[in-house]
Amino acid sequence: MKKMKKFFSIFGTIILLLVALALIFNQPIKEYAVKRISERNLTTLTAKKAHSNAKKKGQFDFKKVKPISATQVAKASVNNDAAVIGKMAVPSVNLRLPIVVGLSDNSLSTGGGTMKENEKMGKNNYALAGHYMTNKGALFSPLENAEIGDMAYITDMKRVYTYKIFYKKIVPPTAVYLLDDIKGQTLLTLITCADGGTNRWALQGSLVSNQPANKKTLAVFS
């Protein structure tokens, strides 16, 4: 039994190294792998699973967030334990991703991570962060091409919340005031890298509708 466990441990390590090497030397492969991780989590999410995952703890230390690496993607491909709690979509730029708890490497290799503990969909300022890879690439990269007036959607598989984007700007990393709740406003804030990681793209939308999740309203996420 011990020999078998050792064998599988070594075998898993070798697979991980091979995947990491492939990703290091081929950016398109890395983006493809990330898209596959996201798609897998999108298609398997249920309301029950989202509710259960919402109880899990996340990592919310902004200082620990690093640029997405080949090793990070490889680990997420082989063993992904990100707590997926919903879905997001910006159809105008063909962005459809899982929403995950926190800002851990695994979470941010999967989709958009919640930026504040205990934030609730459809309440106050719901803030999500995601990695930028390449223009028209995976994760939050398409947000660079979003425009004011575009619609953004999030769901916990029970309700679907629709927001209209009214703000898009490149801001410094210190612009954390954009995450603050604003009395009387229900917002969605989306943050990703800009200028090679020196600055941030910040987009905000205001809530325009809140509907039950059903086949019709969930179609925007597929």
pLDDT < 70: residue spans in the chain: 1-27, 135-136
User: Considering the entire predicted model, what is its pTM?
Assistant: 0.86
Residues involved in catalysis = 131, 193
Per residue in 171-213, pLDDT tens? 999 999 999 999 999 999 999 999 988 999 999 999 999 999 9
Per-residue pLDDT, 31: 82
Cβ neighbors of 88 (< 8 A, separation 6 or more) are: 95, 96, 97, 98, 99, 111, 112, 128, 152, 153, 154, 155, 221
In the chain, domain spans: 2-221
Q: How far apart are alpha carbons 166 and 156 in whole angstroms?
A: 23
Per-residue pLDDT, 32: 81
Give the residue among 186, 222, 213 at the shortest CA–CA distance from 91: 222
Tokens of 35: 């898209």
**What number does CATH give the domain 2-221?**
2.40.260.10
Per residue in 58-74, pLDDT tens? 999 988 998 887 778 87
